Amino acid sequence: MTASLSVENLSVRYRTPQGPVHALRHVDIEARPGEVIGIVGESGCGKSTLVTALANLLPANASVDGSIRYGALDLTGLDERHRRALRGDEIALVGQDPMTAFNPVLTIGDQLVDFQHHRKHIGRAEKKKRIAEMLARVGISDAERRMASYPHELSGGMRQRVAIAAALLTDPGLLIADEPTTALDVTMEAQIIHLLRELRREYNGVIIVVSHHLGVIAELCDRVYVMYAGEVVESGDVDVIFHDARHPYTRALLSCDPARFHERLDSLPTIPGSLPNLTQLPTGCVYAARCAICFEPCLAHPPPTVHLSAGHTVRCHGAGA
Amino acid sequence: MSPIIATEDLSVTFARRRLSDRLLGLSPPPEFNILDKVSVALMPGETLGLVGESGSGKTTLARTMLGLNRASEGEIRFEGRTVKTESDFRVVRRKSAMMFQDPVASLSPRQRVGSLLTEPFVIRGMTMSDRKATAKALLAQVGLPTSFVDRYPHELSGGQARRIGVARALALKPSLLIADEPTAGLDVSVQGDILNLVGELKRELGFASMIVTHNLAMVRHVSDRLAIMYLGRLVETGPTQDVFDAPLHPYTASLIKSEPVPDPRRRRESLAIKGEIPSVFRRPLGCEFHTRCPFARELCRTVTPAYRTLVGNRTVRCHFPLENRGQEPEVLTGAFANSRGKKHDQVEYRST
């Protein structure tokens, strides 16, 4: 199945002994089949909560408002049985650490067979054949030998390739890659980026790439959502975000990336201040305390979502001016 | 001026002991070169960036320089004196400091920040007039509120834990700082913070530093000189800007090209480097990079390149450094000329 994903006004709160933590607030995300969507932000911006919400894996102390529509389904309203049916069939997740994604005491081949448990109509031999084909597609040449290996016998880059193969084996309509290259060296990172780009040519579903690495987002994505403290502060085409960003946070984040400067800098740019406390949110804009152009309304009222052009939205009081 | 610390042909070998060999009482276990004849020198006040992929031996080199691993061959000199015995290393360690990779894991979870900060003094048997005052002064130096003395490590953010790591490393005013992946796991906005802090303290205290990392985008802004490692050997060294502007070793060039560019208009269409770093247990014959090198020729597959010093304080270990690409070396014009572009199907490995 290929279907659009539409997240509307999604808010997630965690109940904790210290009071509710407002981890996600009023998040809107639109993704059409064939698109690669980037979610970028720093620690604590709500990336992981968003991923777990999309994968229907939120813990029991989370309460959800708003909707996550995938085709005709609303994922937030499903019971546990239907959620299970979707995970690992329609929705697949590639995690950050390819070592912990696999069971250390089973061979790769056995685990990849198990990943296809939803396909009851095909036999084990047929499943093995699909695995061999899929491993070849992700650039693993000696598939037969690899299927007999244990996870620890593969390098990090190889394991991440297997994790991607495992995700694709289920033919998901929604593929979520959560920091897919963070645990890898630059040369492996470049290879995994290259692989994901090759794979998307034949893949018609939605791909969501979550990363804190701006270079990875720029290389892979069609559209980008920038998150800060649980909100989407800016979204738009990748070119607009990297070349015509309007939110002060997006601009600050871009200017902090040392990869943008080729001449040696005596001191690296930073964003002074720290994230707001998610149990006691400020009344105004969440970024106001660190913002260079903060003015009066920023402290008093939450900013409106301003639509600047087709698909480019920004949540900032200063954006209309 | 003589270097603070220098290594000369430093090698580290580990034996791979298999249980079966031991039970059967077989001949001594095979040994593997984790570091192979590495020579680096660090001048006072200088910052050296030690760069390479996982498994290239950069952490082993850093640890060996401070005596945390034993060298099997070669020499380490600290402030001009040869360091050999454990008591020599104790002197080295008193004057140098190490920032470890994982900032939270390197702090004991059951000690408060105050006692973590004064631990270096206690270990070295140095007297403090007032423990708490010393800790507070250190906190102020790294830009943290003095109220942090009573906190536990789990109450700190990644960036704050990193700052405590800096404070601990610099507590005894070392003349050498070795930082192992000082920014791994940090957000870009915080990464700059930590590096700026180390930079400021360096100007103030004047120590030399070695930054071990695989983050090229970061290291180009904080190091004066670069040393690139591959499979336990140095492949290139030189002034940072020169190495970035015109890398001599194909490995350095492909590392620089592999770094993702934060600009969707400059996406890379082709891969700069294919394949993976080989294992030290099966080191390829000849130049160890030839299995992945886009320019590898017959000579590279059979003969290990020697270390060469070039103008501008640069060294490279390559038969055909990129700068001299135009000039064909003599040996190539003859028998080997046809073998260029041959697939690297048959890699030969060093027998062990």
CA proximity to B69, closest of B51, B77, B57? B57
Q: Which residues of B touch A186 (CB under 8 A)?
A: 53, 214, 216, 255, 258-259
Token pair for A106:
């089973």
d(CA B248, CA B237): 9
What's the CA gap between A214 and A35, in Å, rounded? 18
Asked if B189 and A253 come within 8 Å (Cβ–Cβ), the reply is yes
DSSP string spanning B219-238? HHHH-SEEEEEETTEEEEEE
Asked if A193 reaches chain B (Cβ–Cβ under 8 Å), the answer is yes
Taking an 8 Å cut-off on Cβ atoms, the answer to whether A42 and B188 are in contact is: yes
What number of CA atoms fall less than 13 Å from residue A77's CA on the CB side? 7
Task: Calculate the alpha carbon distances from B53 to A151, A277, B216, B240 in Å.
Answer: 20, 37, 11, 18
ipTM field? 0.86
What is the DSSP pairing of strand A174-178 with strand A91-94? parallel
What pLDDT score does B327 carry? 46
Helix axes B158-170, B131-141, angle to 10 degrees: 120
Across chain A, mean pLDDT equals 91
- The mean pLDDT value of chain B amounts to 86
Summarised one tens digit per residue, pLDDT across range A17-68 is 988 999 999 999 999 999 999 999 988 899 989 999 998 889 999 999 999 9
Is A174 part of the contact surface with chain B (CB cutoff 8 Å)?
A: no
Asked whether the beta carbons of residue B191 and residue A268 sit closer than 8 angstroms, the reply is: yes
DSSP designation for A189: H
Q: What percent of chain A has pLDDT over 70?
A: 99
- pLDDT value at B336 more than 50: no
Q: Report pLDDT digits (tens) over A96-129.
A: 877 788 999 999 999 999 988 888 888 999 999 9
Closest Cα to residue B288, out of B259, B318, B309?
B318
Average pLDDT of A248-270? 90
Give the pLDDT score at B325: 53
A238 within 8 A of A250, measured Cβ to Cβ? no
Mean pLDDT in residue range A212-219? 93
How many contiguous H segments (helices) and E segments (strands) does chain A have?
Answer: 11, 12
Using one digit for the tens of pLDDT, what is the confidence trace for A142-178? 888 899 999 988 888 889 999 999 999 988 999 999 9
**Residue-level pLDDT at A262:** 84
B196 touches chain A (CB under 8 A): yes
What mean pLDDT comes out for the span B11-28? Answer: 75
Residue with tokens 């880059």: A157
- Pairing assessment for the beta strands A62-70 and A5-14 based on DSSP bridges: antiparallel
Angle at B316 between CA B314 and CA B322, to 5 degrees: 100
**What number is the average pLDDT over the span B163-183?**
91
How many Å apart are CA A23 and CA B113, to the nearest integer?
A: 29
B350 confidence band (pLDDT: 50, 70, 90): low
How many C-alpha atoms does B165 have within 13 Å on its Cβ side?
27
Interface contact flag, B217 A258, Cβ < 8 Å: yes
* Yes or no, beta carbons of A219 and B216 under 8 Å apart: no
Please check the confidence at residue B339 and state whether its pLDDT lies above 60. no
Q: What percent of chain B has pLDDT over 90?
A: 51
Contact of A313 with A235, CB cutoff 8 Å: yes
**Residues 51-80, chain B, touching A (beta carbon < 8 A):** 53-54
Q: Encode pLDDT of A176-196 as tens digits.
A: 999 998 888 888 899 999 999
Which of the 8 DSSP states describes residue A138? T
This prediction's pTM: 0.88
Q: Is there a contact between A264 and B220 if contact means CB atoms under 8 Å apart?
A: yes
Which residue's structure tokens are 């964003």? A271
CB A189 within 8 A of CB B260: yes
